[in-house]
Amino acid sequence: MMTTTEIESTGTPAKAPGSRTLKINWFGAFWRWHFYGALLVIPVLFVLAVTGMTYLFRAQIDAAMHPGVITVAVPDGADRLPLSAQQEAVAAEFPDRSVVSLFDSLGDRSTVFVTELADGTTQNVYVDPYKGVVTGSLTDDQLISDVFIRIHGNLLAGDFGDRLMELGASWAIVLTITGFLIFFLGRKPRKLAAQKKVKGARLRSAHALVGLPVGLGILMLVTSGLPWTGLWGSVSEEVAATGGSSFWGADPGAESTMKDLIEQTDGSSAPAGWAVGMGPTGQSTGQGAGVSIDAAISAAEAEGSPSPYYVIYPVDEAGVFSVMSSQWYQQGNPAESDVTLEQTVHVDQYSGEVVAQYGYDDYSPLAQVVSHGIAIHEGRRFGPINTILTTLFCLAVIFMCISAPIMWWRRRGTASGMAAPRARLPLFGNIALLVGVVALGIFLPMFGLSVLVILAVDQLLIRRIPAWRKFFGTA
């Protein structure tokens, strides 16, 4: 733990009798912060890297886990049947269920119809789009990608898990900044250790060299992931709305039912698309038997929305068909990689006419930037190149998470306690450093709160209990 002893200073370096003013050991100071920050960050980054890489290849993994259900054989020269014909197969197999949404696709992918069960939960029904037969049904718990995305978001621990992930992500930024400083300040020690063939020097150099590009990636990915977090995301949206702007569109702080509607009907437990979920909804004004799903698709195509679509069915008499070209569902839609093509078209369920639209051009500038950032975050923005680079990044993060404890264990040797680097960071004696930490604490509330907790624990416990002072290596 970075105790008050490590971060306090009068600003005047200590003097020894008959000696010159002592220099500040900046390398040791930042190393200590880097060390203790790693205790918080390594578990979080390891989980994020493993689950993120799994989610990156969710289409392949889910298909491999459920062969013959999610993928089908494509007959030579065959075209996919109309969605209405495929829906009839679902109705024939499950006559007591209603369809709440569907995911159309391309090639050998089945069409997914999300059906509502009697208890209000949903189950995905997969239909061979060429033969018009049901190939199977799965709940979200049976899809490994869905389980991993929940772990990725909150460790399956609800709000507590979300805050823990946000805390780790906030400290990851601190870990990266201190890592950069250590990289440049420690070049000579690493070089000297390599020349002397000190045990572990090669791993230390590899950790530093891999950490440099990984740090840049962490800054980008953590920043683009912060809008999903409970505290940072909600506070930043409130600040944006108060300032007369908005993350979503022209109406500052506007709320929409699209987010809840998507999350209730998409057959998974993943959150709704960041900007798509905040889009406005339309209403049907007619009455009668209503149009088919094919008419809703035709209306969206006429508006220039790229296919294949994710479609939410009308939820009540005033509901609409919400036909989405979205980056979120990995079904072959061009908007997956080019977020500027995102568009939602709301179609009157009775007349088949378009009653509302919401797309990339309607997003606020901030929402547009974040949408691009998230597409990069999920390895989609630049196609296969983005996927390859994101995979390499995840593997590099895993290496960093494994190599760091190994380096600590080798350096620790027979030492007791945490064997943390012993150095002080003159926070209160360096105005630039103090301003930087305070600014970071304001920008990252979980980081700021955690620093206050650390100071309180140090004052009330660590500095008063000798065994704790020894364990944490407090000078």
Q: Which pLDDT tens digit goes with each residue over 71-80?
A: 999 999 999 9
222 with 266, same domain: the answer is: no
User: Is residue 247 assigned to a domain?
Assistant: no
45 and 193 in a common domain = yes
Let me know whether 348 and 395 are in one domain: no
Residue with more model confidence, 228 or 251: 228
pLDDT averaged over every residue in the chain: 84
Q: Are residues 192 and 268 in the same domain?
A: no
Asked whether residue 181 falls in the same domain as residue 302, the answer is no
155 is a domain residue: yes
Rounded to two decimals, the pTM is: 0.80
User: What's the pLDDT at 405?
Assistant: 95
Per-residue CA distances from 367 to 384, 437, 470 (Å): 24, 27, 49
Give me the pLDDT at residue 377, please: 85
User: Which structural domain, as residue segments, surrounds residue 203?
Assistant: 4-55+149-226+387-471
Spatial distance between the Cα atoms of 429 and 452, rounded to a whole number of angstroms: 18
pLDDT at 162: 85
Rounded distance, CA 168 to CA 158, Å? 16
Q: What 3-state class would DSSP assign to 5?
A: helix
**Distance (Å, rounded) from C-alpha 311 to C-alpha 458?**
55
> Does residue 123 lie in a domain region?
no
Residues 51 and 154 grouped into a single domain: yes
Q: How far is CA 328 from the centre of its chain?
A: 12
Rounded distance, CA 357 to CA 261, Å? Answer: 16
Mean pLDDT, rounded, for 188-196: 87
Residues 315 and 272 occupy one common structural domain: yes
Residue 24, token pair as written in the block: 């500040």
Ranges of beta strands (E only) in 61-215 are 98-103, 111-116, 122-128, 133-138
At 138, is the pLDDT very low, low, confident or very high (cuts 50, 70, 90)?
very high
**pLDDT score at 237:** 64
- Residue 74 domain-assigned (yes or no): no
Q: How many domains does the structure of the chain reveal? A: 2
Residue 76, C-beta contacts closer than 8 angstroms, at least 6 positions apart? none
Tens-place pLDDT, residues 314-343: 988 988 999 999 877 778 999 999 999 999
Cβ neighbours, 10 Å, residue 146: 20
Q: Please tell me the predicted confidence (pLDDT) of residue 33.
A: 87
pLDDT of residue 89: 98
Share of the chain above pLDDT 90, in %: 43
pLDDT band of 289, cuts 50, 70, 90: confident
Q: Per-residue confidence at 300, pLDDT binned at 50, 70, 90?
A: very high
The predicted pLDDT at position 278 comes to 64
| 182 and 214 together in one domain | yes
Helix%, strand%, coil% for the chain, nearest 5:
55, 10, 35
C-alpha of 181 from chain center = 26
Same domain? For 320 and 208 the reply is: no
Task: Tell me whether residue 77 is in a domain.
Answer: no
> What pLDDT shows up at residue 27?
85
Residues 217 and 274 in one domain: no
Residue 190 forms part of a structural domain: yes
- Asked if residue 106 belongs to a domain, the reply is no
Asked if 345 and 424 sit in the same domain, the reply is no
Q: Which two tokens stand for residue 177?
A: 């900044």
In-domain check, residue 170 = yes
pLDDT in tens, 386-433: 999 999 999 999 999 999 999 999 888 777 788 888 777 676 667 888
Do 357 and 268 share a structural domain?
yes
CB-based contact 37:408 (threshold 8 Å): no
